[in-house]
Amino acid sequence: MTIPFRGPAGQETTPYLLTPGPLTTTPAVKEAMLRDWGSWDADLRAVVGSIRSDLLDIADASQGFECVLLQGSGSYGVEAALGSFAPKNKKTLMLTNGAYGERAIKAMSYMNRDFISYETDELEAPSADEVAALLKANPDVGAVFLVQCETTSGIVNPVEDIAAVAQKAGCVVILDAMSSFGAMDLSMKRMGIDVLISSANKCIEGVPGFTYILARRDLLEASQGVSHSLSLDLYEQWAYMQKSGQFRYRPPTHILVAFAQALEQHKAEGGAPGRLARYKKTAKAMRDGMRRIGLSPLLGDNETGPIIQTFATPRDPNFDFTRFYEGLKQRGFIIYPGKLTKKPSFRVGNMGALDHDVMAMLVDATEATLKAMNVKDLTPAE
Ligand SMILES: Cc1ncc(COP(=O)(O)O)c(C=O)c1O
């Protein structure tokens, strides 16, 4: 893919957003938002319809699955999905190894749904064997929730193995694929995923403002009256969308047309495999370059995904994250603070309309920023 707006840091096309989202988008995605749209208009309804069917195609879920679009960020989608599909008369097994698993658990507590949790360290993936043992010991569990790429660290969890044991135990599998859908290998049919949640501004590279939930049609049909919330009720949102082709309440019009443009670009790049290939290239360029200047990624090359990279904060007393952030920002790059609870770290994202040359520029900018801060000891802080 050619990134048409690539240019030296400092030009109007920057900053490059190297974060878990929002992300850098192409000019075509931004330009798609320059027109106003009526919500009842047939043109907009056609956009909504094509987005829904494209998302099902990407998920390999065209038969027997439905796609529901919902206003709000990804967290709204997770809460809506749990509200509609976490059983009321059974428990849900909640897997967590980071902030997004924790947030989903919090949502379960807010809506008073019964759950048990399986927590692993932020830098450690959950084990399918452990999930199997937990499901055996707790026959009252009816659903399993997990995150594919835990954006807290960038770790990729073994979805296929865990979904297989969950399915064997007769559980519904609910997957937060927020920061992986559209790039990482994901087939709902093959992997046995019953419900999947993602959002507009992750690997599809749209702008933030809506979330989407893909779910088995029979589960959706059975979810009438289950949700704890009016505006997050996926059955009602779906039923209205089926009937009218429209959102139930005010639609995020401009964001939808930008997303339709982003989907065209996704197809032109070769779908998820094409996007994954680019992200892998950018992730490698970033990790190799950062290592070359002395910084340490916290996860090994085989544990991390090509979505976001976590680096250890340097030990040097001159290092201060806010000054580092500002120095990179002046050079055209926006990064993100760390979210790990135990190790001081910062994060740099790979998602978005970026290529490996942008990564080379980032590494140069990082080296220049550290030099300007007089940071010499880059060994990890404890
Ligand atoms: C894995 C995962 N789940 C949930 C969320 C929450 O999404 P949002 O920030 O759009 O509410 C994020 C956000 O980065 C995420 O990465």
- Cα 39 to chain centroid, rounded: 27
Q: Is the peptide bond before 273 cis (omega within 30 degrees of 0)?
A: no
The dihedrals phi and psi of 205, each to the nearest 5 degrees, come to: 70, 40
pLDDT band at 323 (very low <50, low <70, confident <90, very high): very high
Cα of 201 to ligand 1 centre, how many Å? Answer: 10
Alpha-carbon span 270 to 257, nearest angstrom: 20
Cα of 147 to ligand 1 centre, how many Å? Answer: 10
pTM for this one? Answer: 0.95
**pLDDT on residue 9:** 41
CA-closest residue to ligand 1 atom 10: 74
Spell out the domain ranges in the chain: 16-26+271-372, 32-267
Asked if residue 11 has pLDDT above 60, the reply is no
Q: CB of 69 within 8 A of CB of 203?
A: no
Cα of 309 to ligand 1 centre, how many Å? Answer: 16
Query: At the top level of CATH, which class does the domain 16-26+271-372 belong to?
Result: alpha beta
Alpha-carbon span 208 to 217, nearest angstrom: 26
Most informative mutation of 95, 97, 186, 199 for ligand 1 (most atoms within 8 A of CB)? 199
225-254 pLDDT, tens digit per residue, is: 999 999 999 999 999 999 999 999 999 999
Alpha-carbon span 297 to 354, nearest angstrom: 20
Asked if residue 371 has pLDDT above 90, the reply is yes
Asked if residue 12 has pLDDT above 70, the reply is no
The set of protein residues with a Cβ atom below 6 angstroms from ligand 1 is: 20-21, 73-75, 78, 100, 147, 151, 176, 178-179, 199
- Cα 164 to chain centroid, rounded: 22
CA-closest residue to ligand 1 atom 16: 151
CA-closest residue to ligand 1 atom 14: 20
Give the number of other Cβ atoms within 10 Å of residue 374's Cβ. Answer: 10
CA atoms within 13 A on the CB side of 232: 21
Determine the atom of ligand 1 nearest the C-alpha atom of 211.
10
Spatial neighbors of 263 by CB under 8 A, at least 6 apart, are 50, 51, 54, 204, 206
Cα of 219 to ligand 1 centre, how many Å? Answer: 24
Determine the atom of ligand 1 nearest the C-alpha atom of 179.
16
CATH of domain 32-267: 3.40.640.10
58-70 pLDDT, tens digit per residue, is: 999 989 999 999 9
- Reduced to 3 states (helix: H, G, I; strand: E, B; else coil), residue 95 is strand
Cα of 374 to ligand 1 centre, how many Å? Answer: 35
DSSP 314: B
